A = this chain, B = another copy of it.
Amino acid sequence: MKESFDIKVPSNPRMMQLVRKTIAQACEMVGFSEREVHAVTLAVDEGCTNIIRHCYQGSETGHIVIRVRLYDDKIEIILRDFGDEIDVEKLRKCVKKMKRKLKRSGSVRPGGLGVMLIHSIMDKVHYKTSQDSGTVLRLVKYLSDAREKEIASNSTA
C-alpha cells in the first residue's frame, strides 16, 4: 500500500479536533496500535498548534496544508504553513536544551513542551524553511517490527 491524501485547514484551533480524527484514522489504516495512534495524533496536533501560535501568531486567517502518506511500514505526515521563514537553528537548540533539562529531572517550565513531544514521539522530524514559501515540517513514524509482523500474518490469514 502506498496512498496519499491532503487536508487543508484554516489556522483555527477549532479545526484541530477534525485534524486529529483524520490523522487517527490514517494511522489506524497503516496498522499502528491504539497507543501509537494516539501518540502520532498528538505529535501532529502539536505541529499544527505551533504553526497557529508561532507562525500565524494566533490569527485564524492563515492555512495549514497537511499531506499524509500511508506506507506498509510507516506513516509520513508533512505540515506546510505559508508564514515567514523561521529560525530552524534556534528550534534545534530549543529541543536540545529541553532534552537535557528533562534528563535531569521533571522540569516545571512548560515552554518548549510541544516541540519536545514531537521529537520524542516521531522517528523522523525535519524542518525546511524558506523566505517565500513558508515552512515544511516532515514527520515520519515507523511501525514497530512486532506490529508489522502481526499485521502481515493477519492479512495473509
Does A25 contact B18, Cβ atoms closer than 8 Å? Answer: yes
Proximity bits, A19-43, B CB within 8 Å = 1, else 0: 0011011100100000000000000
Judge whether A50 is part of the interface by a CB distance below 8 angstroms.
no
Does B6 contact A29, Cβ atoms closer than 8 Å? Answer: no
Judge whether A9 is part of the interface by a CB distance below 8 angstroms.
yes
Q: What are the 8 A-B residue pairs with the smallest beta carbon separation, nearest first? A: A21-B25, A6-B8, A5-B9, A7-B7, A22-B22, A18-B25, A21-B21, A3-B12
Partner of A29, one of B7, B14, B26, B29: B14
The chain A residues found within 8 Å of chain B, CB to CB, are 1, 3-10, 12, 14-15, 17-18, 21-22, 24-26, 29
Chain B positions within 8 Å of A4 at CB level: 10
Does B5 contact A10, Cβ atoms closer than 8 Å? Answer: yes
CA distance A128 to B102 in the complex (A): 57
Closest to A60 in B: B3
Chain B positions within 8 Å of A8 at CB level: 5-8
A65 CB to closest chain B CB (Å) equals 9
